[in-house]
Amino acid sequence: MTDAVLRRLLLDLARERAAGATFCPSEVARRAATDWRSLMPRVRKLAADLIASGELVCTQRGQPAHPLTTQGAIRLAAAARK
């Protein structure tokens, strides 16, 4: 699984959700492979890149979070359009 494919899956899943709706990064990994757990570090890294570019946002319990420094469950969503 390439980073480009995982990045596309992150963005596709964000676009599929209603405005403000979130998704778990594991949903991306599960779409990509049956052995999805091994993909989670890469999915979080790519999510961090997309957050840095302003395409995604990350939260934990409704508060801003970062996918590489936050432990536990996080949620991702499309960034609000300007």
- Extents of the domains making up the chain: 3-78
Q: pLDDT (tens digit, 0 to 9) for every residue of the chain, 82 residues total? A: 899 999 999 999 999 998 889 999 999 999 999 999 999 999 999 999 999 999 999 999 999 999 999 999 999 999 987 6
Please indicate, yes or no, whether the overall pTM of this predicted structure exceeds 0.95. Answer: no
CATH topology of domain 3-78: Arc Repressor Mutant, subunit A (1.10.10)
Q: Which residue has the tokens 């990994």?
A: 29
Q: Distance between CA atoms of 5 and 40, rounded to whole angstroms?
A: 14
Classify 70 as helix, strand or coil: coil
